[in-house]
Amino acid sequence: MENERPLFIPVLLGTPRQGRASEHVANFVIEEVRKRAGVETELIDVRSLPLSTTDAGENIKIPSFSAAMDRADAMIIVTPEYNHGYPGMLKHALDTNLKEYIHKAVGICGVSASGFGGARVIENLLPVMRELGMVTIFTDGNFSNVQQLFDENGVLQDNSYVQNMDKFLHELIWMAKTLRYGRDNITL
């Protein structure tokens, strides 16, 4: 049956900063996604994307990134909070695609040095997701006090995040399956 095709849910790491703590979060999220049967994933790191600054939007498409977004049923964005907003590089990367995102699910994991778990960057990304045609879920990943949350080897120090991620992925997978059904079966 068509619906038994594995879902593809890549994780987009949204900052290129040297020493970024968000990388630990992205690695943790990928590990949790990999535990799910019937889901394939890969890390897409904005640091590795050959992003041009000669233009913006679809004029500077990166074929491998566009192909991954085209194949994706959903995306997880891991983004730090920078002055309550999202990194410019994340937005520059997101802007390179458009039709690839339409009617796909998206979940956002905010990362912050403070106790707010990136709540403000998540709120600021939501209207962008809507404009890209993606469907947001009502469960977020909120990674607070991230400098204490992982040890120097990137090992998570608070297991309550495993349970939170389980809830987040449950919701994201439900939405991804629902939207795949809609894309495949519903024409108006």
Ligand X SMILES: Cc1cc2nc3c(=O)[nH]c(=O)nc-3n(C[C@H](O)[C@H](O)[C@H](O)COP(=O)(O)O)c2cc1C
- Contact residues toward ligand X (CB under 6 A) are 15, 17, 20-22, 80-84, 111-114, 146
Residue with smaller CB distance to ligand X, 70 or 151: 151
Residue with smaller CB distance to ligand X, 77 or 175: 77
Residues 64-103 as b/e (b if ≥16 CB within 10 A, e otherwise) read ebbebbeebbbbbbbbbbbeeebbebbbbbbbbbbebbee
Question: Would you list the DSSP string of 115-140?
Answer: TTTTHHHHHHHHHHHHHTT-EE-S--
Q: Tell me the two tokens of residue 72.
A: 């994706």
- Shortest reach from residue 188's CB to ligand X, in Å: 42
Residue with smaller CB distance to ligand X, 109 or 146: 146
- Shortest reach from residue 107's CB to ligand X, in Å: 18
- Shortest reach from residue 121's CB to ligand X, in Å: 8
